[in-house]
Amino acid sequence: MLYLFFVTFGTIFVAELIGDKNIYTISSLATRFRPSQVFCGFTVAFAIKTLIAILLGSVIAELPTSLVATTSTVTFFLTALMIWFKRSNNAPAEREYESHLPKAILVPFAAILFSEWGDIGQIMAATLTARYQAPLIVFLGGTMALVTKGVLALIIGSSLRRRVPISILRPVSAILCVILGVISAVSPIFTSPQSH
């Protein structure tokens, strides 16, 4: 069954890298929050989403496009607001992060958990579970694929954070989240059956 782990990992990892908005969200969050906090937030969110995909795969695949789009749009806009209004002060970075630890983990968690439902990664996890009847292996492979994608995005965001002043990163990150929100809002228009 080790091959199934690698099949799940590879399939979901490649599918998620192509056209997935979460990679941009994580990169943006990494410019504003400590990488370990972003990692904790998205790891738990990805694990929950993979578990739900395995348990409720057929239901997720049938979610109304408008509901998925609305939830994703609101999440991206709220994330943009959190990034924009996150207080910057002259306190040492360590003290700032320690005092806001729960919020710093909650923002990435919510940004990932409440966006992009019914995406290709979840559908693949549900399909692989139905085909192979090995939910634990699919869960592990799928979650590891999503976390690996998240780590790549985290590295990009952290690199930007070290090289670009926060006064530039904050508005760019917030604007990126707004753009993702707009894309989520208009995507049902272009993917609806009437548009074909």
Q: How does the average pLDDT of the chain come out, rounded?
A: 77
In which residue are the tokens 């965001």 written? 157
Q: What is the DSSP string of 146-195?
A: HHHHHHHHHHHHHHHHHHS-HHHHHHHHHHHHHHHHHHHHHHHHHHSGGG
Instruction: Give the Cα separation of 182 and 74 in Å (integer).
Output: 10
- Domain membership of residue 194 (yes or no) is no
Which pLDDT value is given to residue 177?
Answer: 75
Is residue 137 within 8 A of residue 8, CB to CB? The reply is yes
Q: Which H or E run includes 63?
A: none
- Domain membership of residue 147 (yes or no) is yes
Contacts of 2 (CB under 8 A, 6+ apart): none
- Domain membership of residue 116 (yes or no) is yes
Which pLDDT value is given to residue 77?
Answer: 83
Mean pLDDT for 123-148 is: 88
Q: Is the pLDDT of residue 39 over 80?
A: yes
Which pLDDT value is given to residue 27?
Answer: 84
Q: Which H or E run includes 192?
A: none
Mean pLDDT for 34-44 is: 91
Is residue 109 within 8 A of residue 41, CB to CB? The reply is yes
Instruction: Give the Cα separation of 150 and 146 in Å (integer).
Output: 6
More confident of the two residues 141 and 91: 141
Q: Take residue 85 and report the two structure tokens written for it.
A: 């209004």
pTM of the model: 0.71
Q: Please report which confidence band the pLDDT of residue 86 belongs to, taking 50, 70 and 90 as the band edges.
A: low
- Domain membership of residue 138 (yes or no) is yes
Q: Please report which confidence band the pLDDT of residue 146 belongs to, taking 50, 70 and 90 as the band edges.
A: very high
- Domain membership of residue 103 (yes or no) is yes
Q: Take residue 58 and report the two structure tokens written for it.
A: 């057929």
Indicate the number of domains in the chain.
1
Which pLDDT value is given to residue 80?
Answer: 77
Mean pLDDT for 54-80 is: 74
Q: Take residue 139 and report the two structure tokens written for it.
A: 């869960």
For residue 6, what are the domain limits? 2-188
Which pLDDT value is given to residue 145?
Answer: 93
Is residue 154 within 8 A of residue 35, CB to CB? The reply is yes
Mean pLDDT for 28-54 is: 89
Q: Is the pLDDT of residue 90 over 60?
A: no
Q: Is the pLDDT of residue 19 over 70?
A: no
> Which range is least confidently modeled, 20-34, 97-111, 146-160, 181-195?
181-195
- Domain membership of residue 98 (yes or no) is yes
Is residue 61 within 8 A of residue 126, CB to CB? The reply is yes
- Domain membership of residue 196 (yes or no) is no
Residue whose C-alpha is closest to residue 84's, from 32, 127, 135: 32
